[in-house]
Structure 1
Amino acid sequence: MNLVSLEDNLYICHTPSATGKATPAYSSIQPLQNMGTPLNCILLIDDDEPTNFLNRLTLEQAGCARHIRIAQSGQEALDYLQDATPRPDLIFLDINMPAMDGWEFLERYRHLPAARKADIVLIMLTTSLNPDDEIRTLAIPEVAGFEHKPLGQEQLDVLLRKYFA
């Protein structure tokens, strides 16, 4: 199945038919219903540009935030959070990043003034399959959850309903 284009929240894919010729298959992704007011801001902290592109696309299609900000390193995210405008309601944090990984970011995040962190939901969003990472994450009070990449519409829907409905 090859993705050909993206138009108005409609993925247009080609799938092989019984005759071997490609036929379009359509899959509409609906924005979240009954969520109420969109979040003011979501911050993605990840060094991987393709992942940020896909996650941003998922968030935009869901229509769940007025602003989406991307920090490509832990330090960039900490700098943003010092003076954040807009302040994020939700942060998705990758674990494995060069220079400052997600763990070091969390250590420094703990030292931010309480007003800079108030009411922020922080979710680890990672490709890590190491069960120790999830166990370690659950022991950190600032972290609300542990999720696997890539961020999907259903996964996002569950998180938004759990923390913001």
Structure 2
Amino acid sequence: MKKKLNCVLLIDDDLGTNFINQMLIKKADITENVQTVLNGKEAIDFITNKGKYEKAGNVFPKPMLTLLDINMPVMDGWEFLEIYKNLEIHQKGEIIIVMLTTSLNPHDKKRAENFSDVSGFKNKPLTLEIIKDIMQKHFPDYL
């Protein structure tokens, strides 16, 4: 039996996109746990066990893979990354963050490269091929 990721976190304000991405991740069979949040603020709350995601103790979810959209209300992907980089290591774990966006702006890709926490930049829509590429690059032991 192959190893699976503990959790994949989808950060995107589009419910349809989240639904399709969940179905693709399920089909790829890389995890049993897909969490979706609608903006960067909810993602920070999820990662740090705050707000509606509050849990007792110091056990943090530490999703192994996060797919991050750029343009969202409340807190966009860039604002999320600014806050995320200052989180405690015991909250972050070793999360692989891949930006998944409709943006074709080369400035956005260049900007993403300036964040050490960003491991990749992919254009929507998510496909099984993109998932396979992410898994081969970042999680070869899970194939």
TM-score, normalised with respect to structure 1? 0.76
Structure 2 segments unaligned to the other structure (5+ residues): 50-58
Per-residue CA deviation, residues 111-162 of structure 1 (Å, 9 max, x unaligned), is 1111111211000000001000001101110100000111100110011111
Alignment correspondent of 2:135: 160
The structure where helix makes up a greater share of residues is: 2
Alpha-carbon distance in structure 1 between the residues aligned to 2:116 and 2:62: 20
Q: Which residue of the partner structure matches residue 3 of structure 2? A: 37
Residue aligning to 2:55: none
**4+ aligned runs moved over 4 Å, structure 1:** none
RCO greater where, 1 or 2, for CA within 8 Å and sep 6 or more?
Answer: 2
AA partner of residue 71 (structure 2): N
Tell me the equivalent position of 2:96: 121
- For residue 58 of structure 1, what is the aligned residue in structure 2? 24
TM-score scaled by length of structure 2: 0.87
Flag the 1:118–1:85 CA change in 2: closer, same or farther, 3 A.
Answer: closer
Q: Which of the two has higher C-alpha Rg?
A: 1
Q: Kindly indicate whether the alpha-carbon contact (under 8 Å) linking 2:60 and 2:91 is maintained by their aligned counterparts in 1.
A: no
Unaligned runs of 5+ in 1: 1-33
- Structure 2: how far apart are the matches of 1:106 and 1:87? 15
Over aligned residue pairs, what C-alpha RMSD do you find?
Answer: 1.3
Aligned position for 2:85: 110
Measure how far apart 1:43 and its partner are: 0.1
Cα offset, 1:88, TM superposition: 0.3
Residue deviations 1:45-103 (CA, integer Å, cap 9, x gap) = 00000100111010001110120000111111100000275320000000000121100
Q: Give the number of equivalent residue pairs.
A: 131
Decide which structure has greater strand share. 1
